[in-house]
Amino acid sequence: MAGYNAPIMDMRFALDELAGLPELAALPQWEAAAPDAVGAILDEAGKFAAEVIAPINQSGDAEGARLENGVVRSPAGFKQAYRQFAEGGWNGLPFDPAYGGQGLPWAVSAAVSEMWQAANLSFGLYPLLTQGAIDLLLHHGSADQKRTFVPRLIDGSWNGTMNLTEPQAGSDLGALRTRAQRANGHYRISGQKIFITNGETDLSENVVHMVLARLGDAPQGVKGISLFIVPKFLVRDDGSLGERNDLRAVSLEHKLGIRASPTCVMSYGDDGGAVGYLVGEENRGLDYMFTMMNNARLSVGIQGVGIAERAYQQAREFARSRIQSRELGGDHGSVAIIRHPDVRRMLMTMKAQTEAARALTYYAAGALDRARALPDAAARTRALGIAELLIPVAKAWSTDIGFAVADMGVQVHGGMGFIEETGAAQHLRDARITQIYEGTNGIQANDLLARKLVRDRGAVAAGFIADMRQAAERLSGVPGPASTAIRSRLLAALDDIERATTWLVATWRDDPRRAAAGATPYLRMVGIVVGGWTMAIAALAAHRRMRRREDDAAFLEAKLVTARFYAENILPQAGALLTAIVDGGDTVLALSDERF
């Protein structure tokens, strides 16, 4: 498997030009996000990812996590790497310094997280869920819960998990059966949870499980769900660890990918009930859990970016070194396959889609930052609306790209891509789960349509489309065929998405099933068009920087070429998706169940 080098210039470009890091760093809350400080953080994270985490990716996949007498044994090198990770303070980047965090914007944390995910997706799941648990507790936990759990989660000595799914209740959380009973100031939890990432581990001292359960007198359905903190070891008043709680991992799943990460079947209450502590109010657990779920959904989108970057880097290096066949139009001997047009097409597609997904996810993270910190209330509300609109897109579209780019990476390798030793197949296997967990990509599409688009009759989407039009129009002032091509293609795609948005909002009223049949094509359209908008912003920024002679000229020229490639090769797909959205629903629903 080829090594990993963090694309720090690309990351800084996306942070500055799309996430709006200079604007964020100007706010009093984020004085620590000065350019020099962020540059140093990215450099150190890149070194750690390349030198410590990436080298145990392929070996961890081959060895896998294993369960021995109720204890998970992580693959060789993971304990040492995690210890260094925790000592480096990497868990705490976006959190309040009062709890041991570093007080940086989520956008910066997103860039650093991309490095962990690209270097080693299995390893990257530890901070991903731990940060989600921290975010949940900071928003909804009591003062005592924050004081007890958050500092230890931030310093990495404890890790966090999310316990939702049960054998009979996958995406339908209203059907969950895990029970909670009131018991002398706490609760007793009993039941089984499945697909629990890092539910048992030997990397940290304690595991803090965030568990959804139902009280005996609770209402039926999702309105009767409560949320509990259920630690592996109970915590004494002085913060030290007490006795083992009544919970255990009974088995590990045998998986297609992310084999170094233990995916556990968890049993609670085999000996009387695990001690749990209620978060917030009874019967409001799903509301609170959505904080962690939305955090995780954006983070999984970043996983898609990371695995796409890793697969692209490996395919690019292979294409540069693999000598095979003469170049078309050439009269010399065999050349590196990167000289062949179809290989170049694949590499350009991989590069353009990865850069667009990176820009979209960083922009969404920056929107969350603005929603939390801008001084103007109306500006905060608008930023939150855009962030909520884009989070399902960031999760689903970016992970679709991650898998597609990994698939193309196998194709660039040819037959060698099908051989495990090259590592290209592992990227493909690892990437597949990202389209499933934290809500399948179909669920994300339904969320985008039914919860985000319909609730305000497309108002936030319409405002965002108008903003994207303004960016397209700014390209009219930039000379050259590249800007003309990008502008015309983007404007055409914006016309398509405007028509699709209007049609879906109108159709939902009278025929929600027909509208829902177009939900996934619509999400893909939003991803493609917003990706095209980010590439247009990149092109504008590249022109500006070239005039000022900022950055490396070759880097900026590559930005322009990549943006034009995206406009001419990927943006036109929006028109085909419009047809699927508006005209395709009838046949989606036409056949009887027996005819499938």
Catalytic residues, by residue number, are 438
Q: How far is CA 431 from CA 57, 59, 117, 428, in A?
A: 13, 17, 10, 5
Q: Is the CB of residue 74 less than 8 Å from the CB of residue 201?
A: yes
CA distance 211 to 196: 10
Decide: 430 and 307 in contact? Cβ < 8 Å.
yes
CA distance 494 to 529: 7
Contact 76, 63 (CB under 8 A): yes
Q: DSSP string spanning 86-133?
A: HHTTGGGTTS-GGGT-----HHHHHHHHHHHHHH-HHHHHHHHHHHHH
What's the Cα-to-Cα distance from 230 to each of 163, 239, 265, 351, rounded to whole Å?
10, 15, 15, 43
With beta carbons less than 8 A apart as the criterion, state whether 193 and 162 touch: no
Token digits for 326? 């003469």
Task: Say which residues have a Cβ less than 8 Å from residue 381's Cβ, sequence separation at least 6.
Answer: 371
568, with CB counted inside 10 A (0-12, 13-18, 19+), is middle
| DSSP structure class, residue 67 | E
Rounded Cα distance, 493 and 499, in Å = 10
Tokens 């960016």 sit at which residue? Answer: 471
CB 581 within 8 A of CB 500: yes
Cα–Cα nearest to 72, from 159, 172, 167, 6? 159
Place of tokens 């009930």: 273
Tokens of 95: 């959190």
Task: In whole angstroms, give the CA distance from residue 387 to residue 371.
Answer: 8
Q: How far is CA 386 from the centre of its chain?
A: 17
Q: Enumerate the β-bridge partners of residue 67.
A: 72
